[in-house]
């Protein structure tokens, strides 16, 4: 779309030219609610961060799009700053690498949907994969992020040995030595995971024992005391 602009010189000769009009992207109700709750779009803080929200697609463990038109990842600004530090450290290791975010803040209402999607599992087993919404997840406060490493030269994710949201021991950091010994994981998979862990830990994030892709910026107790629950 262009805007027609007419100018006249001192000799009353009219000149007409077209100026492109840059349209601001339309923000949906869901995304606007995140902004209203004080969260920031991480790519507006660092455009080199990559985003592929899996819960805004059907490429997830229960094959349902629950984020609808949301395609941007949102976090509290201080958590986003930590992520930027990790992404910068990754690019210093190799300019061809970028962090790619699968999930950032996850509103509490979405947590309930994920919990229900696994209702065929016993509660104790279900908690290994999805946080009980009655207790809450760090994602619900914007204090957790799921991500991997993307090679922009090869146009592909690094091979971590499993996909995102894989349910099983192959995804467990605490089981990596055992899986390697059984030849179910390769040295390459471990090295790629260690690369991701190294930059995230250097930026202040913490790992968990059951998902190589999940990192916390703080504890749940601290988040509940210092951050708002995102609905």
* pLDDT tens per residue, range 14-55: 555 566 665 566 889 999 999 999 999 999 999 999 999 999
Q: How many residues does the chain have?
A: 231
163 contacts 211 by C-beta, under 8 angstroms: no
DSSP label of 203: T
**140-149: average pLDDT:** 98
Percent of the chain at pLDDT > 70 equals 89
- 16, part of any domain: no
Domain that holds residue 54: 26-226
- 8, part of any domain: no
- 165, part of any domain: yes
- 7, part of any domain: no
- Integer Cα distance of 163 and 148 in angstroms: 10
Question: Which has the closest alpha carbon to 213: 231, 227, 192?
Answer: 192
- 161, part of any domain: yes
**180-189: average pLDDT:** 98
- Pick 121 or 227 by higher pLDDT: 227
Q: Tell me how many domains the chain contains.
A: 1
- 14, part of any domain: no
DSSP label of 98: E
Answer whether residue 8 shows pLDDT above 90. Answer: no
- 1, part of any domain: no
Using only C-alpha atoms, the chain has a radius of gyration, in whole angstroms, of 21
Q: What tens digit of pLDDT does each residue of 64-116 get? A: 999 989 999 999 999 999 999 999 999 999 999 999 999 999 999 999 999 99
**110-132: average pLDDT:** 87
Q: Nearest 5°: phi and psi at 206? A: -120, 145
Q: In CATH, what number is assigned to the domain containing residue 70? A: 3.30.1380.10
Confidence of residue 11 (pLDDT cuts 50, 70, 90): low
Confidence of residue 126 (pLDDT cuts 50, 70, 90): confident
- 6, part of any domain: no
């Amino acid at each position: 779309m262009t805007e027609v602009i007419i100018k006249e010189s001192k000799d009353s000769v009219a000149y007409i030219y077209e100026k492109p009009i840059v349209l601001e992207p339309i923000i949906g109700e869901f995304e606007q609610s995140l902004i209203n709750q004080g969260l920031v779009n991480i790519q507006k803080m660092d455009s080199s961060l990559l985003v592929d929200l899996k819960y805004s697609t059907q490429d997830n463990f229960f094959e349902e799009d629950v984020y609808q038109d949301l395609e941007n990842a949102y976090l509290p600004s201080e958590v986003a700053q930590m992520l930027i530090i990790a992404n910068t450290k990754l690019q210093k290791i190799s300019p061809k690498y970028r962090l790619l975010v699968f999930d950032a803040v996850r509103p509490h209402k979405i947590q309930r949907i994920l919990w229900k999607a696994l209702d065929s599992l016993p509660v104790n087993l279900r908690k290994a994969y999805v946080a009980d919404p009655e207790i809450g997840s760090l994602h619900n406060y914007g204090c957790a992020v799921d991500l991997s490493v993307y090679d922009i030269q090869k146009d592909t994710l690094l091979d971590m040995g499993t996909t995102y949201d894989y349910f099983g021991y192959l995804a467990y950091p605490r089981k990596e030595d055992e899986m390697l010994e059984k030849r179910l994981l390769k040295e390459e998979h471990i090295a790629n995971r260690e690369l991701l862990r190294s930059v995230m830990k250097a930026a202040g994030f913490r790992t968990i024992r059951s998902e190589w892709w999940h990192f916390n910026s703080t504890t749940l107790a601290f988040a509940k005391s210092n951050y708002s629950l995102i609905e």
